[in-house]
Structure 1
Amino acid sequence: MPQITVDYSERLADGFDRPAFARDLHTAVVEIAAAKPPACKTRFRRTEDPVVGPDTEGHALVHVHIGLLAGRTDETKARLTETVLELLRRYVKPAGGERLHASAEVRDLDPSYRKFESE
């Protein structure tokens, strides 16, 4: 916890500073949602062929999913998603002429969530 997944259009690969984004996102999650630094885990998944409305060209997508253990207020979650969007503005630079569609969501992990770490 937290479990962070970032889906992003393949065409953003060269214009998305993923290590810096993850570093600053982890800092924000610790400060805003009281997560423990070693517990922050982010994975990035490239997606292909975004379609926005009737258009397939000229659009790029980024969506950040953050799963936290239950107990954060709606205000905390909203503050965290706003911070995610600010970080995306800073670290994602779409290629010339592309329109970036960025979004974020914070949700509670299901009560069945469990984890282990190997040594």
Structure 2
Amino acid sequence: MPHTTVEYSGTLAEALDRPAFGKALHEALVTVAGGRADGCKTRFVRHDDLYIADGSPDRAMVHVEIALLSGRTPEVKRALTEAVLAALRENTAPTPRLEVQFSVDLRDLDRESYARHEEPRTAS
């Protein structure tokens, strides 16, 4: 746990270094928010059909949605969103022809109702 979804404009496919951002994101989830490294899961979703602001093809976006078990303070949540924004900027190459919007949304998962199951590996 935590679960993260990164949605990004297809025009940023070459600019967004997904492995490097994923690594930085997971490090922030562990060091800032106290998550477990082996529980971090990130899905990257490319969108080629977006309409941003006035619909100009010169606009692009990366939106990160993080779902964490509840219990973090507002200060920890803010520190995490700032760290994620910084990691996005560091791991997205300059795109002079595009106006890029970065955003982060952090949501609490209810500890009382969240459930998970992990299948153990079998020896081969």
User: When the two structures are superposed, what TM-score results if normalisation uses the length of structure 1?
Assistant: 0.93
The corresponding residue for 1:113 is 114
**Cα RMSD for the two superposed structures:** 1.3
Amino acid at match of 1:13: A
Amino acid at match of 2:67: G
Alignment pair present for 1:59 and 2:62: no
Say if 1:50 and 1:59, in contact at 8 Å, map to a contact too.
Answer: no
Amino acid at match of 2:58: G
Amino acid at match of 1:72: R
Q: Tell me how far apart the structure 1 counterparts of residues 76 and 119 of structure 2 sit (CA, whole Å).
A: 31
Unpaired stretches in structure 1, ≥5 consecutive residues: none
Runs of 4+ residues over 6 Å off in structure 1: none
CA shift at 1:98, angstroms?
Answer: 0.4
- Structure possessing the higher radius of gyration over alpha carbons: 2
The corresponding residue for 1:101 is 101
The corresponding residue for 1:92 is 92
Unpaired stretches in structure 2, ≥5 consecutive residues: none
The corresponding residue for 1:21 is 21
Amino acid at match of 2:54: P
Aligned residues: 119
Query: Percent of aligned pairs with the same residue?
Result: 45
Amino acid at match of 1:33: A
Q: Tell me how far apart the structure 1 counterparts of residues 94 and 49 of structure 2 sit (CA, whole Å).
A: 15
1:27 counterpart SS class: helix
CA shift at 1:94, angstroms?
Answer: 5.1
CA shift at 1:41, angstroms?
Answer: 0.8
CA shift at 1:80, angstroms?
Answer: 0.4
User: When the two structures are superposed, what TM-score results if normalisation uses the length of structure 2?
Assistant: 0.89
1:35 counterpart SS class: coil
2:42 counterpart SS class: strand
